[in-house]
Chains A and B, each alone.
Chain A
Amino acid sequence: MGGEFVMLSLVPIAIGVLAAIACALPGNFLVLRRQALIGDAISHVVLPGIVVAFLVTGMVNSWAMMAGAAGAAVVAVMLIELIRRLGRIEPGAAMGVAFTALFAFGVLLLEQSDTSSVHLDVQHALYGNLESLIWVEATGWGSLLDPVALAGLPPELPRIAIVAAATLLYTLLLWRPLKISTFDEGFARVLGMRTNLIGLSLVIMAAIAAVAAFDAVGSIIVIAMFICPPAAARLMTNRLEVQVLWSVAFAVFSAVIGYVLAGYGPLWLGGEDAVSAAGMIATVSGLVLAIAALYAPHRKRSGAPADA
């Protein structure tokens, strides 16, 4: 558990944890506002975004791809609103129309363009490559203080750290308007808040978190972390402050335990190869939610009879 751990596992775990936190924080409000599936839609449309970015710039540049993905997320949100308003279609179906079509477009572009030379495929988009984000320069815990080794950190780590900090800052700064507009939109409007702007900012923040996390861990964790930790936390308490703390705790727990189970679990069971860390993190978050749904103190709807 010395140098090898720092080199192979420390960075993926850190990235997993940060990605989980960055998604779980806005996820709390999305779940409460019944917009949880926005995360699902965004993470699907990230694919056409990065493919277009690749075709335009001609290289696998992470910043260009993130810009492309963010652009695709904005296009998707606008398309959903357009279909919903102009076609007078219920939001769920509008979302289903928009993100499946955009995803299909992304797959078609990918198959049409010559991306065989670069690491860009649908599988990668879906389950990321957390395991490959190793810190080659690290030799041991001491490397954490060594500037030369620190310079060799995978660029995904600082990026997701910045985004995680941004979501934290966003949540803290907009805490009051977010809380009021989530629970009582009418009251928020009476107070003079621009509730539609608050809602839009939340979706944009979620999109940024999704895109950054997607870059490092693939879209499946993104959806799982948007929904499972906040949903489990929702069953633990009736106070939003406490719920957010629980959701962060669940997210960190899922990321760490999921990664460890994926990397070391098969070895303990006598296997040789690690299994997908992204998949395992999602699985663990699901188990957390299942346990919360069975035993958490506030799992029932308030006011419902105890054994309904």
Chain B
Amino acid sequence: MLIEALTLQLGYNATLVAIGAGLLGIAAGAAGTFLFLRKRALVSDAISHATLPGIGLAFIVMVALGGDGRNLAGLMLGAALTAGAGLLAMHWLTRRTRLAEDAAIGAVLSVFFGFGVVLLTVIQSLSKGRQAGLEEFLLGATAGMLYADAVLIAVAGAVAVLAIWLLRRPMTLVAFDPGFAASIGMNVPRVDLTMMGLVMAVTIIGLKVVGLVLIVALLIIPPVTARFWSNHSGHVLWIAGALGGLAGFVGAAISASAPSLPTGPLIVLTAFALFTVSLLFAPGRGILVVWLRHRRHQRRIHLRQGLLALAQELPIYERYTLRLLVRAGLARPDGVPTQAGRARAAKACRDEARWAIARRIHSHEAAVSRYDGLMPIEQVLTLDEIHEIDRQIDAGGGGCA
């Protein structure tokens, strides 16, 4: 079933949903990247919750005008209006009062959502038994997705991606260095609001597919995941888009492959699975790589300290150090150095003394500043320089301290 769903052979609706969710994921991943780089990821939470009263109001207005109230475009327009109002309220609270952004986010989120809930109960009592079905926007509902809805989502998603591509330079600049952006004449608040506007657009597009509570995940998780794979903002942007698209497509396909697998949560959990894999295994920043790097460093320090101890004929108490020396064939298990161990120990000792001299010589200052206690001295000084240092050591009769 899953293979068929992934290759779009599971019927018209499933295909429609999978493609729509994939496009939504791309737009959300890309738009969320700037939010993440600007360290304002949770703003999306406020925006998404602020769509609820708009959905309710749009429904009431459309019913009052004689429509059926469930037109997706109309509901999206209403959602955009209150999400925009929420965004402005948040902006105003952080700029005009001394409240921090997190308090403003939480206030807008809870108050707008609470008001939306009030409107939903009003609608319930107005429509008397006839289910308005607006609750489906909380968690998304793809089962009854119409062709027109899918086209709307696809077109809006494509427009959002295009806008992100056009605006990527100013948005990147503002995300990394708002001070510099302002100094070259850029209107930072306006770029910020544009960024938020794009996030808002993605949120509204995603209402139908993943719902307003979970769209936040599609805006936050793919950029955070992409950050593990690259240090280049341009690459992070497209990796996030690709990861979001993948999560949307695969999540929708999994949900179509069996009954009672809700689309929104599966998309989010797919994104989270991608995140977990990246957190563990990404090169450079993944936990596994960081751990291995740490172990290697630890090993080098133990070995070095062990060699210095051998050179000075001190006993080695640290078991790990001794084990490393034995494994490298430098010492016997009872702590007595082998032939090779003696040679390496003497070399380590000599290097230590050379570094001590080098540190006193002014012209080597730049080289010495790179010394981390492990670097072989041959890597930073020339042979001639080392000979010169050796002469000083021999003159002073020094060896290992």
Contact = CB atoms under 8 A, between A and B. Distances in A.
B109 A112 contact: no
Interface size class of B (residues with CB under 8 A): 35 or more
B97 A34 contact: no
B114 A286 contact: yes
B265 A231 contact: no
Contact of B115 (A126, A231, A282): A282
A227 B105 CA distance: 9
B268 A231 contact: no
A96 interface: yes
Contacts of A111: 260-262, 265
B39 interface: yes
A301 B217 CA distance: 33
B272 A302 contact: no
Contacts of A88: 285
Interface in A279-297: 279-283, 285-286, 289, 293
A39 interface: yes
B115 A286 contact: yes
B115 A279 contact: yes
Contact of B103 (A94, A227, A286): A227
Interface residues of A, number: 68
A279 B116 contact: yes
B102 A34 contact: yes
B120 interface: yes
B63 interface: no
Contacts of B328: none
Nearest to B106: A227
A100 B107 contact: no
Interface in A255-280: 262, 266, 271-276, 278-280
Interface string B124-152: 11000000000100110000000000000
A235 B109 contact: no
Contacts of B326: none
B213 interface: yes
Nearest to A231: B103
Contacts of B216: 96, 100
Contacts of A200: none
A36 B94 CA distance: 14
Contact of A86 (B109, B112, B122, B279): B279
A126 B211 CA distance: 14
B114 A108 contact: no
A174 interface: no
B291 to A, nearest CB: 10
Interface string A235-249: 100000000000000
Contacts of A105: 265, 269
Nearest to A108: B265
Contact of A300 (B41, B97, B264, B268): B97
Given A86-B279, A262-B118, A103 B213 contact: yes
B227 interface: yes
A282 B265 contact: no
B139 A107 contact: yes
Given A266-B125, A279-B117, A92 B110 contact: no
B353 interface: no
B125 A100 contact: no
B111 A285 contact: yes
Contact of B96 (A93, A101, A293): A293
A224 interface: yes
A165 interface: no
B174 interface: no
B36 interface: yes
Contact of B117 (A228, A276, A286): A276
Interface string A98-137: 0011011101100110000000001100110000000000
Contacts of A304: 98
B111 A87 contact: no
Residue of B40, B106, B221 with most partner-chain A CB within 10 A? B106
Contacts of B266: 104, 108
Contacts of A101: 217, 221, 268-269, 271-272, 275
Given A104-B268, A126-B117, A293-B93, A36 B102 contact: yes
A307 to B, nearest CB: 11
B42 A293 contact: no
A111 to B, nearest CB: 5
B249 interface: no
Interface string A213-246: 0000000110110111011001100000000000
A271 B287 CA distance: 59
A90 interface: yes
A286 B285 contact: no
Interface in B67-123: 92-93, 96-100, 102-103, 105-107, 109-118, 120-122
A238 to B, nearest CB: 10
B50 to A, nearest CB: 11
A37 interface: yes
28 contacts: A34-B103, A36-B103, A86-B287, A87-B228, A87-B279, A92-B102, A96-B41, A96-B216, A96-B219, A97-B217, A100-B221, A100-B268, A101-B271, A104-B214, A105-B269, A107-B264, A107-B265, A108-B262, A108-B269, A126-B117, A127-B117, A224-B114, A271-B122, A281-B114, A286-B107, A301-B97, A301-B98, A302-B98
| Nearest 6 pairs of A and B residues by beta carbon | A282-B114, A286-B111, A279-B117, A100-B217, A273-B125, A224-B110
Interface of B: 36, 39-42, 44-45, 92-93, 96-100, 102-103, 105-107, 109-118, 120-122, 124-125, 135, 138-139, 213-214, 216-217, 219-221, 223-224, 227-228, 260-262, 264-266, 268-269, 271-272, 275, 279, 285, 287
Given A90-B41, A101-B275, A104-B266, 20 more contacts: A37-B102, A40-B105, A87-B228, A87-B279, A93-B220, A100-B268, A104-B272, A111-B262, A221-B114, A262-B118, A273-B124, A274-B121, A276-B120, A279-B117, A283-B111, A283-B114, A286-B110, A289-B111, A299-B97, A300-B97
